[in-house]
Amino acid sequence: MDTFGPLVSAQELEDRLDTPVLCDVRWYTDGRIGREEFESGHIPGAVFVDLDKSLASPDNGAQSGRHPFPTAEDFAHWLGSIGVSPSIPVVAYDNAGGFSAGRLVWMLRMLGHPASLLNGGLPAWPGPLSTEEKLPEPTHCPTRPWPTALLATMDQVADHDGPIVDARGHDRFRGDHEPLDTQPGHIPGAISSPFVQNMVDGYFLSPEALRQSFADQGIDDAQNVISSCGSGVTACHNLLAMEHAGLGRGRLFVGSWSAWSRSDRPVATGE
């Protein structure tokens, strides 16, 4: 945890539990409530993070997508409210291998903030769970502008001549069904790269295995990659996987399919 790479093991976290602010970012699309899951048991000392309220601005129904980024000012204010200053590291987890917690880790890392994803998530934690929540002392966290070089606009996605990776499942990519957005399909030219293929049994593959997986998709350098998904959440998982693989940092299309499908842009279906 001294270098704060994109991943940290449960053993490393257990040895340094008092060092980072620990964030429980459980979030679901199946009707379960993250706060209720947190209250039923979480890693001791963790604070609950509501993805919809703290890691996104409200969906305004326009082409910004379902989970637009919060303003830099709102994000800094929220970080300070949970005791995070630029010198305080953060470790985030969920119970789905980083499905939702990866969003917070990526947002912080793109700001140059020390942040890691707990590899294996809550199931990897060997110790007892707690039902108590004690928020850290609030602190001041200065506003840091979102780095536009790591965020892709819809126009940039449309004109992109490099890989666009889509972290949704193959069925949603093909357009077999679409449970969340206005129409099925994918961005023309995108590559189906479900985030679940970055893992085995809930843990990230080794850097070597991830490099091979991305190489099989024609990716050996993340700098020319734009990562997309449904609404800019699981796309962060692919970005963290590329960084863990040593491929560098790609760009996030925050609006992702939820923004693209609301626009008048062309839509592709099938493989």
Whether residue 229 lies in the annotated active site:
yes
- Residue-by-residue pLDDT tens, the chain, 271 positions: 446 799 999 999 988 777 899 999 999 989 899 999 999 999 999 999 999 999 999 998 888 999 999 999 999 999 999 999 999 999 999 999 999 999 999 999 999 999 999 999 999 999 899 999 888 899 999 999 999 999 999 999 999 999 999 999 999 999 999 999 989 999 999 999 999 999 999 999 999 999 999 999 999 999 999 999 999 999 999 999 999 999 999 999 999 999 999 999 999 999 8
Kindly list the strands in the beta sheet with 7-8, ordered across the sheet, starting from the edge strand earlier in the chain: 7-8, 115-118, 90-93, 21-24, 47-48
How distant is the alpha carbon of residue 134 from its chain centre? 25
Alpha-helical regions (H) of the chain? 10-15, 34-40, 51-54, 72-81, 101-110, 154-159, 170-174, 207-216, 235-244, 256-260
CA–CA distance, 129 with 171 (Å, rounded to integer): 36
Q: What is the 3-state secondary structure (H, E, C) of 54-78?
A: HCCCCCCCCCCCCCCCCCHHHHHHH
* Domains present along the chain, CATH in parentheses: 7-145 (3.40.250.10), 149-260 (3.40.250.10)
Say which of 23, 141, 229, 236 is annotated catalytic: 229
pTM of the entire structure? 0.96
Give the list of residues 6+ apart from residue 59 with CB closer than 8 angstroms, or none: 65, 66, 67, 68
